[in-house]
Amino acid sequence: MKAILIKNGLVFDGTQNAAKQKNVLVIDGVITKMSENDIKAPQDCKVIDAGGKWVLPGFVDNHTHYDGEVLVAPSLEESVRHGVTTVMLGGCSLSFVCANVEDCCDMFTRVEAFPREILYPILKEEKKWNNPKEWIDHLYSLPIGPNVATFLGHSDIRAAVMGIDRSLDENEKPTDQEIEQMTSLLEQALDCGFVGISMQHNPWDKMDGRHWSKLLPAAYAKSKERNALTKIVRERGAHLQGVPNLVNRVGVFWYMFQSASFLWRKKLKTSVVALMDLKGDKMIRPIVSGLCKIINNVFGANFRMQGFPVPFRVYAEGMELVIFEEFPAGELARHLSRDLKKRNTTLNDPEYRKTFKKNYKAKLTPKVWQKDFGDAYVVDAPDKSLIGKSFMDIADERGQHPVDTFLDLVVEMDKEILWETTIGNHDPDRYKPHYNDPNIVMGFADSGAHINNMAFYNLPIRVLQYVKASHDKGDPIMSFEKTVWRLTKENADFFNIDSGHLVEGKRADITIIDPTQLSDKVHEYHKRPFLDRCERLVNDSEGVVEHVIINGKIALEDGKLTEAIGSERFGQFLQANHDYPNGKTQISNSKSILKQEALA
């Protein structure tokens, strides 16, 4: 018997019920007792004194791109050390389930800013499966850290069924038989407990490798194909995740319509990337939230935006940043980035610069980036005198237009000039309506992607810090109980997975934090080794997260990862609960569960 007794902590159970000081007993991975009274410790029990600490359900990260990293570093320790005990893979139409190795790699690396030279050898060595059940069986052979749930990516199955060339040809449509093959793969995935399907409309997201700058396969799909897939997830009570066109945002209406219920069909749980308070479009958050309210209340939908809750601070090496894809001049520069001589000739062309300036001045067009070089600051460069200055500052010193200054520096230094800007959620004083919005599900950390610019591994800790700071100022954004619920059980319930709460008889996924250590330091960025091959940019929660327990096993103790993490299996594949057409609830895929029990 393996037992853990957590004593004297302030326990948040993942609901909005008031937190209470309790003792929590965990035996063989299950919470067996929670009581305000003393609990006698069993023999050989590990006792954790949580006096003055908060005992929380492990955080749920609903939007990661760990699909590659989990294959070779399955502990996913960068999330575990921040108190995350459940991660969700397969978003944005991207999963590594059905397509071949090179196609999976080319669909992923440019979109998710993940080094291709790292991912391709990983997939080439590890990927021996081509269907959902085989992928799960492989997952259970790994010493995974957090629990894992996943979507099936539309681009993944489209490339697998049609072949990558046809799947990227806008003039090609899948045959009826091919659509049937795609729906069959989706049904197999749902039978295995996948959360649902992820789709894609965004023209920013481009292919790497052999089909450089083509859109992702899912972006070429037409209504007949999309409707056949959404029909399956609707019938099964599963989930649709989507990425609309992030520039004109029209695609969000398609997802809203899919979520709506009518006399002849039931509602469809749908989440869409991503809502925040944009600097460049201050009305977008309240407008989209209002539309969500209408679609949910009037048209019977179950629709949520993935609400990003912290400053969207991004880093760029020269022009290596996806925001340049949202206007034509930037898109062209990104397309030419594999041929620096040709790209630099273009960047120096007066006609090109004239077009770039025209795009830059078009402030009223729909956009994510505020297009303001006065709000973009140099972090590092070969010329150290530039550090800390905005491109506008440097332009004033040179007597230039800021676009000319920026392009000159990119031509001169390429990726050696590192700069940052904050695109949205820049003012915590404006967080209250966003954090309390019932039309969002809080998340979009992008953990495992964007290695050097914009992943947010400790997003839940940062949210707690902002809420605590508001309490300290006497103007609470919301209660701590509601905050924990939004980061745990609300997330898990919306995505149909059994996670995110502390209750007797349930799996013990527990995070213990020291609230006195919640300070501005959790927002600072640091570089940490990544797969022993490069570095990645991460936040640090050191001192905040003291213990992390996954399935009743201690993964982090006194702020340090245990020796077992990475060598033993802590998490499990979390099978989503959704409905068959006959009304029965899908509980498990028997073979995978038997394998799970045998390995436990």
Task: Encode pLDDT of 283-313 as tens digits.
Answer: 999 999 999 999 999 999 999 999 999 999 9
Average pLDDT over the chain, rounded to whole?
94
pLDDT digits (tens, 9 = 90+) for 371-384: 999 999 999 999 99
C-alpha–C-alpha distance, residues 254 and 394, integer Å: 43
C-alpha–C-alpha distance, residues 270 and 219, integer Å: 18
Q: Residue 40 has which token pair?
A: 């006698």
Handedness of CA 53, 56, 58, 64 (dihedral sign): negative
Q: What is the predicted pLDDT for the residue at 250?
A: 82
Confidence band for 117, pLDDT divided at 50, 70 and 90: very high
pLDDT digits (tens, 9 = 90+) for 230-253: 999 999 999 999 999 887 778 899
Query: At 320, phi and psi to the nearest 5?
Result: -85, 75
Tell me the mean pLDDT in the region 209-228: 97
pLDDT digits (tens, 9 = 90+) for 417-467: 999 999 999 999 999 999 999 999 999 999 999 998 879 999 999 999 999
CB 418 within 8 A of CB 379: yes
pLDDT digits (tens, 9 = 90+) for 67-113: 999 999 999 999 999 999 999 999 999 999 999 999 999 999 999 99
Q: What is the predicted pLDDT for the residue at 542?
A: 84
Distance of alpha carbon 390 from its chain centroid, rounded?
29
Residue 485 reports pLDDT greater than 90: yes
CB 494 within 8 A of CB 240: no
Using CA atoms in the order 77, 14, 90, 335, what is the torsion angle rounded to 10 degrees?
Answer: -80
Domain boundaries, the chain: 1-83+449-563, 321-420
What's the CATH architecture for 1-83+449-563?
A: Roll (2.30)
Q: What is the predicted pLDDT for the residue at 580?
A: 54
Distance of alpha carbon 205 from its chain centroid, rounded?
15
Give residues with Cβ within 8 angstroms of 137, minimum separation 6: 129, 591, 592, 595
Confidence band for 365, pLDDT divided at 50, 70 and 90: confident
Residue 576 reports pLDDT greater than 60: yes
Q: What is the predicted pLDDT for the residue at 595?
A: 40
CB 94 within 8 A of CB 146: no
Q: What is the predicted pLDDT for the residue at 413?
A: 97
Q: What is the predicted pLDDT for the residue at 363?
A: 76
Q: What percent of the chain has pLDDT over 90?
A: 90
Q: What is the predicted pLDDT for the residue at 276?
A: 96
Using a CB cutoff of 8 Å and minimum separation of 24, what contacts does 247-254 make? 247/203, 247/204, 247/326, 247/366, 247/367, 247/368, 248/366, 249/284, 249/288, 249/366, 251/201, 251/202, 252/288, 252/291, 254/201
Q: What is the predicted pLDDT for the residue at 182?
A: 98
Q: Residue 376 has which token pair?
A: 């973009």
C-alpha–C-alpha distance, residues 268 and 301, integer Å: 7
CB 22 within 8 A of CB 7: no
Q: What is the predicted pLDDT for the residue at 366?
A: 78
Report which residue type is found at 510: I
Q: What is the predicted pLDDT for the residue at 361?
A: 94
End-to-end CA distance of the chain: 13
Residue 170 reports pLDDT greater than 60: yes
Q: Residue 228 has which token pair?
A: 């056949």
Gyration radius from the chain CA atoms: 24
Give residues with Cβ within 8 angstroms of 436, minimum separation 6: 477, 478, 482
Element (H, E) at 181: helix 176-191
